[in-house]
Amino acid sequence: MPALLSLALLALLGSAFATPNPNPQQLPLINADLLYGNAPPTKLRDDLLSLHRSLVEVESITYHETEVGHHLARYLRRRGYTTQLQYIPSKTDSPDENRFNVLAWPGDSARPNPRVIISSHIDVVPPYIPYYISDDEPTSDTVIGGRGSVDAKGSIAAQIIALQSLLDAGEVREEDVMLLFVVGEESPGDGMRHFSNSSERHALNFESVIFGEPTENKLACGHKGGLFCSIEASGISGHSGYPWLGKSANELLVKALYEMINTDLGSSDKFGNTTVNIGRIDGGVAANVIPDHAKVDLAIRVAIGPEDEGGEIVVDRIKKILYELDPESLKFAYTHGYGVVECDCAVPGFETTVESYGTDIPNLKGVYKRYLYGPGSILVAHAPNERLTVGDLETSVEGYKRLILHALQN
C-alpha cells in the first residue's frame, strides 16, 4: 500500500474515533477529495460549502454590506467573471457611505446583454450569529447555521455554484446569464430599486430573473404584498387617578389596533388573509400619568392584489377604521406598500408553494418572467436558530440549474 494512502487512512480512522469537538464553530471544512476521491459531486460539495461558509462568516447586517460585497466580487473575479460595483447614493443617516450592488457576468464582455439574471441579497438582519457546522465530516444531514446561512447567503452560494457547473459543462453560453447581488433587501429595498432605475438596468433586455430566497427548495407561485406603516395617537395628559379629565393616547391606540386585527383587511383563496404585525409600540411617560402621545409601527402582509394597487386598498380600509374611531386624534402614515406578487411556477419537476414574506421582486420594474426559489425555511430565517442542511444546499444547486435551463429554453 503506498505510504501516502496509508497515512490518509490512518488519519481517517483516527478522526472516526476522536472525541467530538465541543465547539462546532471552530471545526474546519474537510478535504472532500481525500474522503471521497475525485468524483465531481464531491468537488461540488467542497466548493459549495467553502463558498457558503466564507459568506456567512462575513458580518453583513443591512447598511454594513461593504466587506461581504468586496469578498464576493473578489471570489467571482478569481473565477473569470467580470464584476461591476454599482454604488448606492448615500443618505445622511446611513452608517455606511460606500454601499454597492455586485453585478457580474462570465467572461470579459464590456457590454453584457443577458437573457437571464440570477439574483439575491447580501444583507442580513441583526444580530450577527457566527457560522457553525455540526460535523467535521459533512453528510447530507449535516446542519449548518449562522446569520444569513438561510436568508439569503444559502441562495447566493447555490446560485453561483449552479451557474458555474452549467458553464463548465457547456450547457449555457457566457453571454446569456448575469449575476446580481444587491444590498438593502431586508430594509429598505434601496439596492434593488437603485438597480431598477439605473442606466445599467435600462441597457439590458433580459427575459427572466431567478430570485433567491428561502422556499424550502419549492418553487414559489407568488408571495404576499406588504404595507409598512405607523399610527400616531394624540391625547391630553393628566393625573392617572382622574382619567376623565384627560384623554389617553395609549387607550385610543389600543382600540384602533383591536379594530384592525379584528377586521378583514383583505383576503384571497391563493394568499389567505391580510395579517397585521404590531412591531413596536411607544407611548406615555409614567404609569401614573395619562399619556398624551402614542405611536405604533406596523408591518402588514397584504393578501390581495393587484400588485400595484393592493397596498392602497388596505390603506383605505385602515383609514376608514381610524376615521370612525377618532379622525382628529389618530394619524396614519406609510412608507410604501404593494399588493400580492405573482411568480412563474409552471416548471416541471418542482413542488410549489406560496410565501407570506416580501422580496425584492416588486422593486425590479419591467416585464419579465419571475422565479422565486431557494434553500432553507423562512421559519428559521431572522431567528436565533437560523440553519439548514448540506442536503438543502446541494438540492438547491440542482434546482437552480434546472431553473436556469428552463428560463433559457422558454
Report the phi/psi class of residue 5: left, alpha or beta, with left for phi > 0 and alpha for psi in -120 to 50. Answer: alpha
Known catalytic residue: 216?
Answer: no
Catalogue the E-assigned strands of 64-140: 81-87, 100-106, 116-121, 132-133
Instruction: Determine the Cα–Cα distance for residues 90 and 7; give it in Å rounded to an integer.
Output: 56
Instruction: Determine the Cα–Cα distance for residues 151 and 155; give it in Å rounded to an integer.
Output: 8
Beta-strand relationship, 225-234 and 293-302? antiparallel
- In eight-state DSSP terms, residue 307 is T
Is the distance from CB of 347 to CB of 406 less than 8 angstroms? yes
Dihedral Cα 321, 322, 325, 331, nearest 10 deg:
180
Tracing cell 427548495 back to the chain, one arrives at: 217
Is the distance from CB of 391 to CB of 141 less than 8 angstroms? yes
Handedness of CA 147, 151, 153, 154 (dihedral sign): positive
Is the distance from CB of 408 to CB of 166 less than 8 angstroms? no
Query: How many residues does this entry show for the chain?
Result: 410
Instruction: Determine the Cα–Cα distance for residues 207 and 114; give it in Å rounded to an integer.
Output: 8
State the catalytic residue, choosing from 97, 175, 185, 342.
185
Residues annotated as part of the active site:
185
